[in-house]
């Protein structure tokens, strides 16, 4: 059985923790940031943030890059598509 991208994203949205929405929206509004800033801005506990970011990274919605000692998080093109399709539904 094949599903459309919209159906897939709807399934993803139902399975992700509520903190994932805050992380994605924060990255959309404020741009790339390190995990410490992201934790404070998105109001997500750091231990939870690590778990959520890895889920979003595995789905291809968020990219994590190392810059010095910091891990920088940013939305990918697929992440922006996810937000766009989510707003359209």
Residue 17: CATH number of its domain? 1.10.10.10
**Weakest mean pLDDT among 63-67, 71-75, 83-87:** 83-87
Instruction: Say what the pTM is.
Output: 0.85
**What range defines the domain where residue 57 resides?**
5-88
Cβ atoms of 55 and 16 closer than 8 Å: yes
User: Averaged over 62-84, what is the pLDDT?
Assistant: 92
Percent of the residues in the chain that have a pLDDT greater than 70, as a whole number: 92
Work out how many domains the chain is built from and give that number. Answer: 1
Residue-by-residue DSSP string for the chain = ----HHHHHHHHHHHS-HHHHHHHHHHHHH-SEEHHHHHHHHT--HHHHHHHHHHHHHHTSEEEEEETTEEEEEE-HHHHHHHHHHHH-
pLDDT tens digit sequence for 13-52? 888 899 999 999 999 999 999 999 999 999 999 999 999 9
């Amino acid at each position: 059985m094949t599903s459309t991208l919209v159906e897939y994203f709807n399934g993803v949205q139902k399975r992700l923790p509520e903190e994932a929405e805050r992380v994605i929206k924060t990255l959309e509004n404020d741009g790339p940031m390190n995990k410490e800033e992201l934790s404070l801005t998105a109001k997500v506990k750091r231990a939870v943030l690590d778990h959520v970011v890895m889920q979003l990274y595995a789905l291809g919605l968020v990219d994590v890059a190392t810059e010095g000692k910091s891990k920088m998080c940013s939305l990918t093109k697929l992440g922006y598509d996810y937000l766009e399709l989510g707003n359209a539904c």
